[in-house]
């Protein structure tokens, strides 16, 4: 797949401006959406089409279409991540958006690692990959 730089819209630019300097502590996918827990207590959600939002972690979990047991499990993980942090985590330095046909790729460059979120509209999947730089 060949990725080309994609322009971001005003809303995406606004969200990205808020996450620069924040540290991703953990992540999960749910219903084709990527969720990144940030050390500022917010969850950054990235949808299949590259649209995104930034909401308090409690709101993000409450809004999931999931049963109470799954939400409780996620709250536990989030509380643990916020309490103990993530020793391998480092602040986000830059965010770049790419596209290829119906795919989207968001590259988060952090001080010590990189997080790549890829989506496919036609195949309806989201993948998150974190690796040391």
Condensed to tens digits (0 to 9), the pLDDT of residues 8-43 reads 999 999 999 999 999 999 999 999 999 999 999 999
Q: Return the C-alpha torsion angle 64, 115, 108, 56, nearest 10.
A: 30
Q: What are phi and psi of 110, to 5 degrees?
A: -110, 170
Q: Please compute the mean of the pLDDT values over residues 39-68 and round it to a whole number.
A: 96
pLDDT tens digits, one per residue of 67-110: 999 999 999 999 999 999 888 899 999 999 999 999 999 999 99
pTM of the model: 0.93
pLDDT at 133: 67
Contact 103, 2 (CB under 8 A): no
Q: Return d(Cα 33, Cα 94) in angstroms, integer.
A: 21
């Amino acid at each position: 797949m060949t990725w080309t730089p994609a322009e971001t819209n005003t809303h995406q630019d606004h969200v990205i401006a808020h996450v620069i300097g924040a540290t991703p502590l953990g992540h999960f996918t749910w219903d084709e959406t990527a969720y990144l827990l940030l050390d500022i207590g917010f969850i950054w959600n990235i949808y299949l089409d590259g649209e995104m939002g930034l909401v308090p972690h409690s709101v993000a979990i409450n809004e999931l279409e999931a049963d109470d047991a799954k939400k409780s499990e996620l709250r536990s993980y989030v509380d643990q991540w916020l309490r103990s942090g993530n020793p391998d985590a480092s602040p986000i330095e830059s965010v770049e958006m790419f596209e290829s046909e119906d795919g989207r790729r968001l590259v988060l460059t952090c001080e010590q690692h990189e997080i790549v979120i890829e989506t496919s509209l036609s195949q309806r999947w989201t993948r998150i990959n974190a690796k040391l730089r």
